[in-house]
């Protein structure tokens, strides 16, 4: 993954709202970790277990939009 693709993935991570986290099974509706995620999404991902990290990655890549530099990227 090149820098532009990485930067886009981080941008997408920072754009995830609470409802998709609940829908993906990452958090419960009353989960106090929302503030931790909201304040530091990258840190939340770094410290996440593998299952949670996979679910977050699925949210980042939803719609299979290519990252910059990948085939089909604008």
Q: What is the mean pLDDT of the chain?
A: 88
Which three-class secondary structure state does DSSP give residue 52?
A: helix
25-53 pLDDT, tens digit per residue, is 999 999 999 999 999 999 999 999 999 99
Q: State residue 16 phi and psi, 5-degree precision.
A: -75, 130
Cα separation, 2 vs 23, in Å, equals: 30
**How confident is the model at residue 5, as a pLDDT?**
84
Confidence of residue 61 (pLDDT cuts 50, 70, 90): confident
Asked if pLDDT for residue 64 goes beyond 90, the answer is: no
Q: Which residues contact 19 (CB under 8 A, 6 or more apart)?
A: none
Report the alpha-carbon angle 4-24-48, nearest 5. Answer: 65
| Euclidean distance between CA atoms 56 and 8, whole angstroms | 14
């Amino acid at each position: 993954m090149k820098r532009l693709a990485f930067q886009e993935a981080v941008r997408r991570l920072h754009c995830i709202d609470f409802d998709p986290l609940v829908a993906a099974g990452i958090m419960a509706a009353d989960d106090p970790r929302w503030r931790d995620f909201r304040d530091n999404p990258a840190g939340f991902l770094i410290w996440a277990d593998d299952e949670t990290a996979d679910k977050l990655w699925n949210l980042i890549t939803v719609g299979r939009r290519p990252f910059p530099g990948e085939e089909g990227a604008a």
